[in-house]
Homo-oligomer: A and B are copies of this chain.
Amino acid sequence: MEKVKIGVIGLGRLGYKHAENLAFKIPNAELTAVCAMEEDRLEQVKKDWGVPYTYKNFEDMIKNSELDAVLIASPSGLHTDQISKALAAGLHVFSEKPLGTTVEECREAEKAVEKYNDKVFMLGFMRRYDASYKYAKEKIDSGEIGVPILFRAYSQDPERFIEGAIAYAGHSGGQFIDMSVHDIDLARWYLGAEPEEVYAIGGCYAHPEFAQYKDGDNVSALMKFKNGAMAFLFAGRTAPHGYNVETEIIGTKGILRIGSVPQKNMVEILDNSGVRKECSQDFLERFEESYLNEVNEFINCIIEKRKPGVTVYDGTKTTEIAYKCKEAFESGKLTKI
């Protein structure tokens, strides 16, 4: 079994994690190259992990003929361009979400993926590779909960990271695009259908800074799906307790709740504030294993010449829906999708 040689673009928090996983925890992969702007990080990775090649320029990296694949964890605005270029260079591509920052960009990516159809392309909807989310999916597919009625999803970042969120507000695309895309992906995956209409509201309850970007610090949307199912999404940046990613699927025969308490671990504490569980604080803590699993799946798809469950079209669809949520939120109108 030969190892897949992969290059990573982007050494931000998530890119760094991916690179580290590829270097040490993904048996069939070899972290062969890394590309980033930060010279010191490149140096560190080269020195500590023994990565053979480092680049400051993406185009240079993909010319490296040793590479089989790239993992894209660069800023969102660069995704589609890099996807197209890497595919054209004959590489398999894993891209972090979002697929693109506009629906048009997503369509470009679709074309590239279709053109280089012999390559594996995968998008980073890591929740699908989380043990609990997978388990719920199996239960739904096996009919255990009957007909899905309501999909409810919360994606809440903790208040303690609010400064970063404010600083990034102008680039995030707003909460529906930045945060709810994962929930939109799950809704489509679990419900097996597409939404047709959305109503979205919210506001700045604690931090007026988001208003200038036509965003809120907490927003919500209610969507009607084509199969009649309902989806309620809530995205917030002021969770007092931690990183709260909570999903519920109410069916006619059973109800599933995933992560309704975002507990950090299996320790329960009884003290003068009562009986409590401490909570996960960020996405890397909550989804550590999922990030590993998804890239493992990408690598295995390459080796086994399979295509992953998450497709480029999932990326376009969720982007499209997220934009419709944003539009609904900004206009205050009931919006067709």
Contact = CB atoms under 8 A, between A and B. Distances in A.
A240 B135 CA distance: 19
Highest count of chain B CB atoms <10 Å: which of A145, A201, A236:
A201
A15 B146 CA distance: 36
Interface string A231-261: 0101010111110100000111111111111
Interface residues of A, number: 72
A201 B222 contact: yes
A272 B240 contact: yes
A334 interface: yes
Q: Which 7 A-B pairs have the closest CB atoms?
A: A276-B276, A24-B27, A199-B199, A255-B270, A222-B222, A132-B266, A206-B252
Interface of A: 1, 23-25, 27, 50, 131-132, 135-136, 139, 144-147, 149-150, 159, 199, 201-203, 205-206, 218, 220-222, 224, 228, 230, 232, 234, 236, 238-242, 244, 250-279, 333-334
Given A25-B27, A239-B255, 14 more contacts: A131-B265, A146-B206, A220-B222, A220-B232, A236-B250, A238-B252, A240-B254, A241-B272, A255-B270, A257-B268, A257-B270, A258-B267, A274-B278, A276-B276
5 contacts: A23-B27, A25-B27, A202-B230, A205-B252, A254-B270
